[in-house]
Amino acid sequence: MPQKHFNLIKTYNAARAGELYTPHGTVPTPVFMPVGSQATVKTITPREIKDIGFNMVLANTYHLYLRPGIDVIEKMGGLHRFMAWDGAMLTDSGGYQVFSLAPLCKISDNGVTFRSHIDGSEHFLTPELAIHYQESLGADVIMVLDECTAYGDNQEKVRKAMDRTHRWAERCFKAQKRKDRVLYAIVQGGMFPELRKQSAEYLTALDFPGYAIGGLSVGEPKETTFAMVEATSALLPVEKPRYLMGVGSPEDIVESVARGIDIFDSALPTRVARNGALFTGKGRINIRKAAYRQMDDPLDPACDCSTCRTFSAAYLSHLFRSDELLGLRLATVHNLRFIANLMGKIRSSILDGTFSTFRDDFLSNYKTTDEKTRVEQKEKWLRGREKEG
């Protein structure tokens, strides 16, 4: 492990600004990681990711294990070289994908047997293998294997999964061989505060260099998400980074930073971009709507992304209405630049002591999707992922 992985520079109430130190560079926090599940952030190049303003990405061990194979990437010199990315990288363990994409899986204390969502072939994943695969990929930050639960699962089921997650975390800790990389534990416990407390206490006693909060943003109401984030974050070591897995809506990022989170990842900004949903300071808009067909101005005049500096909203609307692939690229560039700018503004406001004002101003101007529609969209997306299996 690097001599020092995280430095907390300043706090503003619970909000934090710091730095992550990795073998591939220093990463200012709070930080958002674009998701490159299959060694690519869909539609754009690694150079574009850097130019947009990101220096850390997430890759998916499950997908890379199935295709092209961990051995192939290792022979190519590791994942950084394979995908031509010279910045920091975090890989997940593959646990969430095993459970969400492969409904025909069998879980035991030894590990999980699952069928590939690609060809139906059977595979077996253990905590030790999850660490071995991630170390072979060469990521800067790697994750323990955990057992995920669904929103609505009863307390006993969540407790059993949590206990297994704890046992697996210890096995992952012992299995780690590359000490130049850091391993994060994942706090579970569903929507039960007492279980979240037990999980945080158990895992922090093992002294991991970083901690993630898993099992949230799986269809629960936002107030439940924020309550679990606030309660869990307060139980984690002040001097170590806190990673909220799978959260990427602009308003959720702002609210979660206010509750002490340092690291985020989500496919949401790029996924909704490919569906024509674009972020602006006033909220998310649908570029296919008639209002944009003859709009000669940029989509967002306040945005400095290459899309808004070069093209009109009318042109973007035309691309999406015509199913042109360029529209997907331009929308992705815009949404990611919006998130990069947001992270920069959040960090600056923490450092200069104005985060509360920034938070209030942002949330008062940013129109969010109503809760019922948001939950329905999330459930539809989760069902779609399950059908891929």
- What is the mean predicted confidence (pLDDT) over 9-33? 98
pLDDT of residue 388: 38
User: Mean pLDDT of all residues in the chain?
Assistant: 94
Active site residue 92: yes
Nearest of 33, 31, 92, 82 to residue 61 by alpha carbon: 92
Active site residue 265: yes
Catalytic residue among 92, 140, 252, 300: 92
Looking at residues 252-274, what average pLDDT do you find?
98
Per-residue pLDDT band at 377 (split at 50, 70, 90): low
Confidence of residue 387 (pLDDT cuts 50, 70, 90): very low
Q: What is the pLDDT of residue 375?
A: 60
| pLDDT value of residue 386 | 44
In this structure, are residues 330 and 319 in contact, taking their beta carbons and an 8 Å threshold? yes
Whether 371 shows a pLDDT value over 70: the answer reads: no
Q: Which among 29, 53, 90, 60 is positioned nearest to 334, based on CA atoms? A: 53
Confidence class for position 95, pLDDT limits 50, 70, 90:
confident
Contacts of 28 (CB under 8 A, 6+ apart): 17, 18, 19, 347
Sequence-ordered list of residues with C-beta below 8 angstroms from that of 157, at least 6 positions apart, any chain: 149
**Cβ contacts of 260 within 8 Å, gap of 6 or more:** 14, 15, 16, 229, 230, 233, 234, 236, 242
Name the amino acid, one letter, at 219. G
Bridge partners of residue 10, in order along the sequence: 17
Residue of 153, 252, 262, 265 marked catalytic: 265
In this predicted structure, the answer to whether residue 311 has a pLDDT above a threshold of 80 is yes
Instruction: Note the pLDDT of residue 378.
Output: 57
Least confident of 94-98, 175-179, 218-222: 94-98
Q: What is the pLDDT of residue 383?
A: 57
Q: Is the pLDDT reported for residue 231 higher than 60?
A: yes
Q: Which of the four pLDDT bands, split at 50, 70 and 90, describes residue 81?
A: very high
Mean pLDDT to the nearest integer, 56-77: 98
Length of the chain: 389
What domains lie within the chain, and their CATH numbers? 6-265 (3.20.20.105), 273-372 (no CATH)
Cα 5 to chain centroid distance, Å, stands at 19
> What is the rounded average pLDDT of the residues 352-369?
96
Count CA within 13 A, CB hemisphere, residue 325.
3
- Ranking 70-79, 291-300, 330-339, 377-386 by mean pLDDT, the lowest is 377-386
Q: pLDDT at position 113, please?
A: 94
pTM as predicted: 0.95
